[in-house]
Amino acid sequence: MSQQRTDLRNLAIIAHVDHGKTTLVDAMLKQSHIFRDNQVMVERVMDSNPLERERGITILAKNTAVTYGKVKINIVDTPGHADFGGEVERVLNMVDGVLLLVDAVEGPMPQTRFVLRKALELHHKVVVVVNKIDRANARIDYATNATFDLFIELGATEDQTDFPIVYTDGLRGFAGLSPTSLAPDLQPLFETILSSLPPPMVERDGPTQMLVNLLAYDDYKGRIAIGRLYAGRLRRAQEVIRIAKDGTCYPGKIAQLFVHQGLDRIEVEEAEAGEIVAVTGLAEIGIGETIADKDNPIALPPLLVDEPTVQMTFSVNTSPFAGREGKWSSSRSLRERLFKELEHNVSLRVYDTETPDSFLVAGRGELHLVVVIETMRREGYELQVSRPEVIFQTDLQSGERLEPFERVSIEVPEEQSGLVMEMLGVRRGRLQDMRIGDQGFVHYEFIVPTRGLLGFRQAFLTATRGTGLLNSLFHAYEPMVGEIRGRDRGSLVAWEAGISTSYGLASAEASGILFIGPGTEAYEGMIVGEAAKERDLEVNVAKKKHLTNMRASTSDISVRLTPPRQMSLDNCVEYLSEDELLEVTPKSLRLRKKVLDRHGRKRVKVAGR
């Protein structure tokens, strides 16, 4: 028989990227006295992954827990970027309610729509938190009204639209039920959580049922399965049945049992239904599987996440510099690492191809795949990747070819609004909404084919001189639109192998923008810059000045070069054209042509006509 566990709350914090989720969790942890008074605290303590700290975003969902009064509150911090929506989807199954954070200036943004829709589909109760109300240009009334409109637009029930609102300054740890009277702590937020979010409904005496939502790994404990215990109890050394996604049952035994407290996992002898727990001892367990009672194994519904929309080809590095800088570079090690990623990255797909040294990797967006590449690079892997491509589908009824479209939210200064309209018009964007803000910024909503957004962000930032804001979210699969022009400039391609010289680069610089400086080792077919024209240009960056007996009066003056454009991994992936690859090693990123030999490229070009 189901009953409530009033001593427990399970909630997730969801929001658009950079609306302050992780900072608010920091404040909740500090005010729950999780840390010693003399303990040194870092900012965004939940962003423990080095990539998260560098990029300033949450990539992986993480669990923590605080105690308020006699109630334990399990909290899941979720990513705010659309490309990591798979993380959000699976953790929402663990909780009974959500805190929806909305920035007091920006209001609901594209990712707010995505995470809220997922929460409403699961019939979760929502507490709206209007955060950053201390900002000078805060629009609190706009943020609350737009949030209510979003609930209505997403088809929320009458009960769901009757949501409580808490106003917070997450950085200082202040909260209140009115924006004009904040308490000097988060007590109003904690009280609202206890009064508005339901306690878990559990079957304490039913057969054991736990759904695995997350995986972690420890060098000593092995694979750690994290999830919610829906029914029954779990004990250390308990014999259980692991039910795979296909319904196959495997016997197993729990080695250790943990619950979350603060940032730590605390080992316990027993846990009751409703708790979010972590278990070890089941070496082959995967996400979406059920840990069930040995005598009465009953499977829980498996996790379902949205399908990927973008794919890239990952292959063994075949450049002349292959094997120099990486620890792992064989097709076997590459394949093992990619399929290992599937164990915890639920929205990723990996497929073998016709060639044994290439693999098709599909994800939720460019950033999703870039993070996988960067993670592998830091682990010592060496590989090469192709240009991102969208994944097409076919309408089963009409046979029509469909492609993914994204809802794009853009904010630009008014003087640059016409240019952005033109850029998205060329990319087949459809304007949905336009409004002029108070600060001289224009806000646009477009529906754009994903094809049109590949490689667009860098051009957008350049056109707006870095002042524009762009966010996108998967919208739907729709009939394919016509041709979309890709990059409108060619590449500067190295003519021959050698070490770049100032003299050679000075000649090349007249033809475009350089990506490398003097003293860089290059090989034939390597891309060393962006051409000023549409076609590729071959340049000799290793050319040296001939020595003669003749000397000019200015000969000792060194050649002055424009500093090369610094190409990050994100920039390189966006830059790629169809006939180009990106060589990725732990130390270097090198753009190159698929066919390195210039005569071979000409033959391919002639054959393709």
Q: In this predicted model, what pLDDT tens digit does every residue of 328-363 receive, in sequence order?
A: 989 999 999 999 888 777 778 999 999 999 999 998
| Residue 495 within a domain | yes
Within this chain, do residues 497 and 604 fall inside the same structural domain, yes or no? yes
**Does 131 show up as a binding residue in the annotation?**
yes
| Residue ending a domain, choose from 360, 389, 418 | 389
Q: What is the pLDDT of residues 260-292, one digit of tens each?
A: 887 778 899 999 999 999 999 988 888 888 999
Q: Environment class of residue 363 by beta-carbon count within 10 Å: exposed (0-12), middle (13-18) or buried (19+)?
A: buried
Within this chain, do residues 376 and 522 fall inside the same structural domain, yes or no? no
Q: What is the pLDDT of residues 90-128, one digit of tens each?
A: 778 888 999 999 999 888 877 777 778 888 888 899 999
Residue 121: the pLDDT is 86
Within this chain, do residues 11 and 74 fall inside the same structural domain, yes or no? yes
| Residue 298 within a domain | no
Looking at the structure of the chain, the number of domains it has is 5
CA angle 94, 99, 101 (to 5 degrees): 135
Q: Which amino acid belongs to residue 571?
A: N
CA angle 501, 563, 517 (to 5 degrees): 30
Q: How far apart are CA 241 and CA 397, in angstroms?
A: 42
Whether the predicted pLDDT of 48 surpasses 80 = no
Within this chain, do residues 321 and 381 fall inside the same structural domain, yes or no? yes
Calculate the CA dihedral of residues 351, 353, 355, 356 and round it to 10 degrees: 20
Range of the domain at 17: 3-200
Helices (H) and strands (E) in the chain — how many of each?
15, 38
Decide: helix, strand or coil at residue 147: helix
Average pLDDT over the chain reads 84
Buried b (16+ CB within 10 A) or exposed e, 384-416: bbbbbbbbeeeeeeeeeeebbbbbbbbbbeeeb
Within this chain, do residues 9 and 89 fall inside the same structural domain, yes or no? yes
Least confident among 74-83, 218-227, 305-314, 425-434: 74-83
pLDDT category, 559, cuts 50, 70, 90?
low
Residue 14: the pLDDT is 84
**Does 23 show up as a binding residue in the annotation?**
yes
| Residue 584 within a domain | yes
Whether the predicted pLDDT of 420 surpasses 90 = no
Residue 354: the pLDDT is 92
Least confident among 69-73, 311-315, 385-389: 69-73
**Does 471 show up as a binding residue in the annotation?**
no
| Residue ending a domain, choose from 150, 182, 200 | 200
The pLDDT > 70 percentage for the chain reads: 89
Asked if 549 contacts 592 with a C-beta cutoff of 8 angstroms, the reply is no
Give the bridge partners for 167, in sequence order.
130, 176
Within this chain, do residues 183 and 104 fall inside the same structural domain, yes or no? yes
Mean pLDDT of the region 499-522? 91
DSSP code string of 432-460: EEEEE-TTSEEEEEEEEEHHHHTTHHHHH
| Residue 303 within a domain | no
Buried b (16+ CB within 10 A) or exposed e, 570-581: bbbbbbbbebbb
**Does 18 show up as a binding residue in the annotation?**
yes
Mean pLDDT of the region 445-457? 88
Least confident among 15-19, 493-497, 559-563: 15-19
277: left (phi over 0), alpha (psi -120 to 50) or beta: beta
Mean pLDDT of the region 366-382? 90
Within this chain, do residues 405 and 450 fall inside the same structural domain, yes or no? yes
Within this chain, do residues 188 and 223 fall inside the same structural domain, yes or no? no
pLDDT category, 482, cuts 50, 70, 90?
confident
| Residue 160 within a domain | yes
Within this chain, do residues 399 and 507 fall inside the same structural domain, yes or no? no
**Does 21 show up as a binding residue in the annotation?**
yes
| Residue ending a domain, choose from 241, 261, 293 | 293
Q: What is the pTM of this model?
A: 0.73
Within this chain, do residues 416 and 542 fall inside the same structural domain, yes or no? no
Within this chain, do residues 195 and 108 fall inside the same structural domain, yes or no? yes
Within this chain, do residues 436 and 287 fall inside the same structural domain, yes or no? no
CATH number at residue 407: 3.30.70.240
CATH number at residue 574: 2.40.50.250
Residue 187: the pLDDT is 92
| Residue 132 within a domain | yes
pLDDT category, 193, cuts 50, 70, 90?
very high
CATH number at residue 253: 2.40.30.10
**Does 20 show up as a binding residue in the annotation?**
yes
Decide: helix, strand or coil at residue 482: coil
**Does 133 show up as a binding residue in the annotation?**
yes
| Residue 299 within a domain | no
